[in-house]
Every structure is written in C-alpha cells, then in structure tokens.
Amino acid sequence: MIATDSHFSDKRGTFVISLDFELYWGVQDVISLNEYQNNLLGVREAIPEILELFNEFKINATWATIGFLYFKDFEDLQNNLPQQLPSYNNLEFSPYGYINSLVEKDRENLHFAPELIELIKQYPGQEIGTHTFSHYYCLEDSQTEAEFEADLSAAIQTAKKAGIATESLIFPRNQYNQSYLKIIEEAGIKCYRGNETHKIYNSINGDYWDFKKRSLRVLDSYINISGQNCYSVQELRGKFPINIPASRFLRPYSPKLKYFRSLQLRRIRSGLSYAAKERSVYHLWWHPHNFGVNLQENIKSLRQVLEFYGELRDQNKMQSLNMLQLADVLNQEV
C-alpha cells in the first residue's frame, strides 16, 4: 500500500526515511544482552508509535529487516540456515557462534519479531527491505562473495515465504562493498543505502568504532562538518542498482546530551530546507532499538522533524518516498 502523497514531482524535494530493523542481532558483537535488553524490549512499543506517526504525516519509509527476525524462535531459525556461513577472521562478528553458545535459548522477543513485520505490512507506504539475513559484514576480513550471496539468498527466500518481495538493501554497519553490487543486482535488488560522501563516513573493515571518526560523526549531528548531504535526482540516476545515500542519522535522545538536542533537530531541519530549495533528496535513518528507551522523548523529536516536513509538504516543496518508490521513479527516467 502507498500513502496518498507518494506521487513524484521533480519540482519538489524528496524526503526518504529508512530504518535498520535488527533487534539484538545488530549489536550482539558489541554489547551484552543484559546491558541492552531494555532497548530491545522497548522496540515492541516503539514500532507501533513510529508507524502511527508515519501514518499521521503520510510518510513512506523503508524498513530494512534482518532475515533472522522472521522466525518464531531459535529452533525455527536453526532449521533454516544457509549452507555457507560467513568465515570472519574475528569470530565475534558471527551471530552463528552466538547462537551456538546459548545454553538456554529463551527471550525470543529480543531476537525475533514476525508479528512486528506483519504489523509494518499493514501500514500504507511502508516497504520492507533487507538488512541481510544475519547482519552480514561485507568488508570484514576473510568473508567471501559466495558467503554473502548465500546470506542474501536466504534473506530473500525468507521474506518471500512471508509474502514480501525484497527490492532494497541496507548494508549492516554501513559496510558498503562496491564489489558486491553485481550480486545484489542479480538477486533483484533495485536500490541500496550508500554512505554520506564525506570521508568521516567512509566505511572500511575494522574502523566502525574508530574513536576519531565516530567522534566527528557525532559532532556532525550537531554542527555542520560534512555539509547537508543532499543529492540531486540527476546524480542518483543512471546506475543500477541505485545508490540512495544517507543524509543524516537521527541520534536517540540522551539525558547527558539533552541540551544539545535542539542543535540536532536544527541540523535536520536545515537539511530538509536545503533539499526543498534545491529539489534534491534528503535521507534520514535510524534503528527502532534507538527508540527503545526514552521512547516519549524520541517520539517527540521525530514528531518535530515530521511537523517541519509537513510544513514543507503543504507548501508543495517536499514529498515523501520510500527507497523503492524513489528507485522506481529513477529507473523510469534513465
């Protein structure tokens, strides 16, 4: 289903929203389950509230979903694993080792979410894309193209069983791998979310948590270091699969940084204003688990962003498209 304002016009800017839906599989190598369980439990309240906001403001969005989330429990998952698993040099990166290490395979609600996927399907304008099957890291040492292809195939087939066609992809940890684009094209993927073009967003193996880069990315959320990161339709058009790069990460509310929250929102509004003026694309993203704690503060911030978008839309300056909708428009005009 598509929201009522999804018709594309090249006389307006375009607001794209994507969410990386991953639960514990997205952080199992960096934080313990006990430490992060409140964020994960909060996802079950956060997603319905986000969807209601999207519905209120007629927002089309892409939910890049890990294939693991489609299963009901660990046994169901283990009965559907791909034959080739990632052979990372760093074994902590592999969720399969984590699965095998579990003594009591409980707390399924922190790892699986088929009912939330079904809920997302019910809302207009919401596309369900893929975040790979296992939160696959495409730039880490030792993993191979064949392993990635097996992982992606498993993700696509799992979604297909749930009645979902997979046509967009978001690389986990933003590990965009140029050499894997042919694989995703052959799998039927029309578009993916690339990284911002500034060097602080370059993603290479092993540097995701690099202190200097991460600090600059955080600072860039509040003051303009990397520019507006908006993209003209002309520069996105012409290559397949289509790269729809990120513009800004919506950082979650933090009590320690609450006095800087207005700066982040001003930074986002500035980007939206620029996209409206230049008739370009602005791509905002976050994870549902970012809203899992401090939910009402995060929902308040999102509402403020969407209210500002609504003002631009009502002035006929902005439109909302999910990744697939924008890709289809660009494909038609190539």
The number of domains in the chain is 1
Does any domain span residue 8?
no
Instruction: Compute the Cα dihedral for 291, 43, 70, 124 and give only its sign.
Output: negative
DSSP label of 84: S
pLDDT in tens, 249-295: 999 999 888 888 999 999 999 999 999 999 999 999 999 999 999 99
Does any domain span residue 2?
no
Q: 74, 73, 99, 72: which is closest to 85 by C-alpha?
A: 99
Does any domain span residue 5?
no
Distance CA 128, CA 293 (A): 24
The per-residue DSSP string of 272-309 comes to HHHHHHHT-EEEEEE-GGGGSSSHHHHHHHHHHHHHHH
Determine the Cα angle at 217 with ends 140 and 204, to 5°: 15
Task: Give the pairing of strands 281-286 and 13-21.
Answer: parallel
CATH code assigned at 313: 3.20.20.370
Does any domain span residue 137?
yes
**Structural domain span for residue 105:** 13-333
Does any domain span residue 188?
yes
Does any domain span residue 58?
yes
Does any domain span residue 294?
yes
Question: So what's the pLDDT on residue 214?
Answer: 76
Chunked mean pLDDT (size 10), the chain, 334 residues: 62 97 96 95 98 98 98 94 96 93 79 98 98 97 97 98 98 93 97 87 62 79 85 90 96 89 96 98 98 97 98 98 96 68
Check if the beta carbon of residue 200 is closer than 8 Å to that of residue 208.
Answer: no
Does any domain span residue 20?
yes
Contacts of 252 (CB under 8 A, 6+ apart): 286, 290, 291, 293, 294, 298
Q: Is 64 helix (H, G, I), strand (E, B) or coil?
A: strand
